[in-house]
Amino acid sequence: MKSATSVIARDERILGGDPVFPGTRVLIRSLFEYLEGGESLEAFLHQFPDVRAEQAVAVLEEARRRLVDEA
């Protein structure tokens, strides 16, 4: 399993430190907004081609892990 730091990047010089996909300027929040809006993962990946499917799935797995651990 990847660590949270390997699937989520934060750097004050990139979008003010908001969490992004490593190696991109794509906000992690954008993935959740797409899914909450009823869009598919494929639609998100099409809109943000700099994000690899493996990165998006890893972020979703990390979110699930954190929710389960905190429950």
Query: 12 with 25: CB under 8 angstroms?
Result: no
Q: Domain coordinates of the chain in residue numbers?
A: 4-70
Fold exhibited by the domain 4-70:
Arc Repressor Mutant, subunit A (1.10.10)
For the segment 1-56, what is each residue's pLDDT rounded down to a tens digit? 555 568 999 999 999 999 999 999 999 999 999 999 999 999 999 999 999 999 99
Question: What pLDDT does 70 receive?
Answer: 87
Question: What pLDDT does 2 receive?
Answer: 56
Query: 47 with 34: CB under 8 angstroms?
Result: yes
Give the 3-state secondary structure percentages of the chain, helix then strand then coil, rounded to 5: 60, 5, 40
